[in-house]
A and B are shown apart, each in its own frame.
Chain A
Amino acid sequence: MPHKDLKAPGAHRREVLLLAGAAGAAGLAGCMSGDDNGNGNGNTSGNGNGNGDDDDVSDDIDDQADVSNREIQPNWISPSASEAQELNPLRINDTTSSARLAPLLDGPYGLDENDEFYGYWFEDYETEDNQTWTFHLRDNLQWGGDYGQMTTEDWVFHVENIAQNEDNWTAHVNQSNWDDVESVTAVDDTTLEVEIADPDPLFVRQPTFWGTYILPKALVEPYFQDYQDGNENAGEELNGSDAVQQLQYTGNLGPYTFESRDIEDRFVAVRNEDYYKRGDDEDWEDAPYFEQYTINILEEESTRLAEFETGGLSSITIPADQVQNYQGEDDYTIVESATPYCSILAYNQRANGWEELRKREVRRALAMAIDKETVANDIYRGFAKPAQTFQPEYSDFYNDDQVEPVGVGDSYNVDEARSLLEENLSDDYSYDGDTLVDADGNQVVLSFVYSNGASLTEDSARYIADALGGLGIDVDSNGVPFNTMLEQYAMVAEDGEPQGIFNDPEAEDPQALSSAREWDLMWGIGFNTYPRSPGSIAAFWTASSGTNFYGYVPEEDLGSMIQEGATATDEEEQQEIFAEVFGILSRDLPVNFIHFQDDIYGYQDEVVFTEDPSPSWGYKQYSWWMTDDPHN
């Protein structure tokens, strides 16, 4: 049995700072307070989006123990804060559920330290014109059960009959990922040709193939036939089949094989003896290096932390306000990973918000009164970075020269903010001493709604309310559950009834819309900024975009600019266009971009990582190993 002293000198590094870790599935983007899996694995499904460089890496993982002594340990144990909502890969769009599939299915490919293609099922790819992409599938991929070899036919069937099926008979949740795919052709069993609508040099970074799981054609085809014969319930029957729910189809496509699932207790997978990637190179020589992979469901955060401290868990996600308990401790390795999720303070520019918020200068004045460094450094204990626009600074598409900062350094200035307000508010408003009053002489009251349930979000909400009080404004704060915030404050409402949409793309004037309840400021929402493929930001910053619950109407044609940037074939041109877009957003401030929060992972000291710190942290996690078993 290997021991800790097998590690090379320098083995006791305990903190590793990373940038732009690969975040989880798209579902995370919605709620910055919510979906903490408690899982310390950086990249479970690969559906997230991040980018960056190593400039800020303050410490490095150099504790590479002697590989020749590498042994297979009994168990890797991760926590989960809740039970999986789905096990059907076609219906999963949350990190909790995808974490169950990740050890069983590698997916087509990942992105490495440099955001470059890292092959799993797909060995490599090529393109000449950024419009026709050819992917090469390995020839040693086997489905489980009687479903045979995974071939390109499986992919063609998936795209044509599931992902792009107009009726969406399987209730596939990520159909939009395939909107730009014109056709897929099986050239032979292992060669897949994909044609997309417009040239896109970043297509390989899009979540179309990356992070996509499929089901075998041989499994789905009979149900599809049933559906075509008129059985509308065929999709449900497929979902309820043992093959799907017992994960019988995963074969050798992932490092582990499903063993058991005890509801609200644990999910257990065992080492896959036929793992296709074993022996790829030295890191994967005998991978995976654990006999068992266990996910323990522990709802209570304090229980998860206690379990980690006593060696019951291999890894964990640590909240920013708890990290100090682990920093500097020899028993753990802490990894900090920046995320592409931007926390915003939304301004309601719709009919039921304060009409003055429609003025760019008023929005800027409010932003100037909030010190983003206080939020990032004091409330989030330094595990967040102030945001200036809808893109993190490490992004290739962020340009300092274009961005106009606010709320940091000199641009945090309450006196100047008051002057700006005085200059730009309509004649109905004025300062009476230190108090901002309306035409009737009453103090201006802004309704501030935020999502409750997460202490860091609540703390920062209190700070924001207090900071705006410095402008002489009375802030009426109201903490509500995240879903209530979405339904009652963000959704479009008619006669007080939420309509299920957050903006009406057909509306002549998006600012004429309103929600069920009145509000002026909203806090508790985080958006994915897509630094790897920023074309996706069209969903946020045009007058007709689906998430525009704040009623933003840009003066410039941002929609066309984003479209132009997304389809530009030259990377430099893309960068220029998007840098300009992000510059406009930093000046326009449709919302106040507050900060980018980091993910913080803790690992037992015995864990040896087989990858260097990078934005794609975790893309090789199933080749990580341990020098000893910390769970005994």
Chain B
Amino acid sequence: MSMTWYIGRRLAWALLASFIIMSVTFGFLTASPNPATSTVAWEAAQEGDNPEDAIETYEQTRGEDRPLREQYVDFMVSMYTLDWGDSYTYDTDVMGVISNSWVYSALVVIPSTIIAVVVGFAVGIYSSTHQYTKSDYAATFFAFFGISVPNFWLSIMLILVFGVMLQWLPTSYSPDSSMAFWSLEHVKYLIMPIFVLTTAAVASEMRYARAETLEYVNAEWVKSARAKGVSEWRIMYHHIFRPATPVLITILVADFVGIIFSTAYIVEVIFGIPGLGLVSYNALIRMDTPLVLATTLVPVILAILANLLQDILYTVLDPRISYEARN
């Protein structure tokens, strides 16, 4: 089977998978009561108006007075033709909202992912090759601390200590509009959020890297390499890290998507970063169907593409893996 055929099949599967996920999301949204409806009715009642009329007007402005089938077809067609319509909450086009917010998420997610991967893998491999030493215990302690400490708590503590008490760093993400994007001043606003995101991610990468590479520390080929006088650095990289890479990449994809859409949300709320996680969460809370569907589609596509990339990388990193075996 050619790689083109393989990728084609995977992309077709991606379309089907995203269709199912979007349909389920739409189903959940329509089945869930909209909290705003009761509030609208309540306000009308207090002002002596008819609450039913108020609900009707509210639903009319959101196009929810149409038959459900019509709404479903409209939403799905618009999603797959990339005409994502307007967000009910922001009265602006969904594409604009997403293209605006992903930048903020990227500002914290990309650096923290890179740091987490580099530091996490490095410390993990070091731990595995120095098992049961003091440095291994220290790294393990740090990993458990990073995994255990709640992000919201750590964020608030950092704000209190470095923002309020020491006043070294800004307490929230609120750079002046005149501030240059690529400037040291701007970086100061990102230090605490990146640190919080990294703490959790680095710990997870480290534990996986340690566990995975431990398999190879005492492998026959490692012993042979040592016997031949190969340097420890080369052994670590070529003989231990490389065979462990396919599995670590699997974790990486899940971690990356997880950071963007779950961990980053907490950090975005606490530090006031207007990123994709925050927008997505608020869209769900406000039952903003076009924005919910679009912000669902984005991570679904990201995850599917990342998985595809991961599968292709498998074959590069480990030639024993073939496309046929994956079918």
- Mask, A472-499, CB within 8 Å of B = 1, is 0000000001011011001100000010
Q: Which of A4-12, A85-93, A214-222, A590-598 contacts B (4 or more CB under 8 A)?
A: A85-93
Q: Decide: A528 and B45 in contact? CB cutoff 8 A.
A: no
Query: A171 an interface residue at 8 Å Cβ cutoff?
Result: yes
Contact residues in A for B163 (Cβ distance below 8 Å): 306, 310
- Mask, B42-67, CB within 8 Å of A = 1, is 11111111111011011011000000
- Select from chain B the residue with minimum beta-carbon distance to A91: B61
Given contacts A26-B46, A265-B274, contact A236 B167 (CB under 8 A): no
Given contacts A302-B159, A306-B171, contact A264 B46 (CB under 8 A): no
Contact residues in A for B177 (Cβ distance below 8 Å): 260, 266, 268
Contact residues in B for A30 (Cβ distance below 8 Å): 39, 42-43, 46
When chains A and B are docked, how far (Å) is the Cα of A600 from the Cα of B176?
28
Query: A297 an interface residue at 8 Å Cβ cutoff?
Result: yes
- Select from chain A the residue with minimum beta-carbon distance to B100: A263
Interface centre among B52, B89, B167, B286 (most CB of A within 10 A): B89
Q: Decide: B269 and A546 in contact? CB cutoff 8 A.
A: no
Query: A539 an interface residue at 8 Å Cβ cutoff?
Result: yes
CB distance from B44 to the nearest CB of A (A): 8
CB distance from A234 to the nearest CB of B (A): 13
When chains A and B are docked, how far (Å) is the Cα of A90 from the Cα of B42?
18
Query: A29 an interface residue at 8 Å Cβ cutoff?
Result: yes
Query: A83 an interface residue at 8 Å Cβ cutoff?
Result: yes
CB distance from B64 to the nearest CB of A (A): 13
Q: Decide: A26 and B47 in contact? CB cutoff 8 A.
A: yes
- Mask, A285-310, CB within 8 Å of B = 1, is 00000000000111110110011011
Q: Decide: B91 and A240 in contact? CB cutoff 8 A.
A: yes
Q: Which of A11-57 contact B (CB under 8 A)?
A: 26-27, 29-31
CB distance from B311 to the nearest CB of A (A): 35
When chains A and B are docked, how far (Å) is the Cα of A503 from the Cα of B42?
11
CB distance from B75 to the nearest CB of A (A): 17
Contact residues in B for A310 (Cβ distance below 8 Å): 163-164, 167, 170-171
When chains A and B are docked, how far (Å) is the Cα of A86 from the Cα of B87?
11
Contact residues in B for A299 (Cβ distance below 8 Å): 269, 272, 278
Contact residues in A for B286 (Cβ distance below 8 Å): 85
Report the contact-size class of chain A (Cβ under 8 Å from the partner). 35 or more
- Mask, A263-275, CB within 8 Å of B = 1, is 1111010000000
Query: B101 an interface residue at 8 Å Cβ cutoff?
Result: yes
Q: Decide: B43 and A298 in contact? CB cutoff 8 A.
A: no
Q: Decide: A487 and B57 in contact? CB cutoff 8 A.
A: no
Query: A168 an interface residue at 8 Å Cβ cutoff?
Result: yes
CB distance from A343 to the nearest CB of B (A): 15
- Select from chain A the residue with minimum beta-carbon distance to B33: A487
Query: A560 an interface residue at 8 Å Cβ cutoff?
Result: no
Which of A26, A31, A86, A303 sits near B172, CB closer than 8 Å?
A303
Contact residues in A for B44 (Cβ distance below 8 Å): 176, 546
When chains A and B are docked, how far (Å) is the Cα of A614 from the Cα of B225?
84
Q: Decide: A296 and B48 in contact? CB cutoff 8 A.
A: no
Q: Decide: B47 and A176 in contact? CB cutoff 8 A.
A: yes
Query: B92 an interface residue at 8 Å Cβ cutoff?
Result: yes
CB distance from B69 to the nearest CB of A (A): 20
Q: Decide: B171 and A500 in contact? CB cutoff 8 A.
A: no
- Select from chain A the residue with minimum beta-carbon distance to B279: A264
Query: B160 an interface residue at 8 Å Cβ cutoff?
Result: yes
Q: Decide: B45 and A502 in contact? CB cutoff 8 A.
A: yes
Contact residues in A for B36 (Cβ distance below 8 Å): 483
Q: Decide: A539 and B47 in contact? CB cutoff 8 A.
A: yes
When chains A and B are docked, how far (Å) is the Cα of A490 from the Cα of B51?
13
Contact residues in B for A547 (Cβ distance below 8 Å): 42, 45-46
CB distance from A259 to the nearest CB of B (A): 9
Q: Decide: B57 and A307 in contact? CB cutoff 8 A.
A: no
CB distance from A318 to the nearest CB of B (A): 15
Given contacts A264-B279, A538-B48, contact A303 B272 (CB under 8 A): yes
Query: A164 an interface residue at 8 Å Cβ cutoff?
Result: no
Query: A527 an interface residue at 8 Å Cβ cutoff?
Result: yes
Which of A260, A302, A309, A539 sits near B45, CB closer than 8 Å?
A539
Task: Give 25 pairs: A residue, B residue, CB < 8 Å, sorted on A.
Answer: A29-B46, A30-B39, A85-B89, A171-B61, A177-B47, A239-B61, A240-B91, A263-B101, A264-B101, A264-B274, A265-B104, A265-B274, A266-B177, A298-B174, A299-B269, A302-B159, A306-B163, A306-B164, A309-B171, A483-B39, A484-B35, A501-B45, A502-B41, A538-B48, A546-B50
The chain A residues found within 8 Å of chain B, CB to CB, are 26-27, 29-31, 82-83, 85-88, 91, 93, 168, 171, 173-177, 179, 235-236, 239-240, 245, 260, 262-266, 268, 296-300, 302-303, 306-307, 309-310, 312, 481, 483-484, 486-487, 490-491, 498, 500-503, 527-528, 536, 538-540, 545-547
Beyond A174-B47, A310-B171, A501-B45, 4 additional pairs, beta carbon < 8 A:
A176-B44, A300-B269, A312-B174, A528-B46
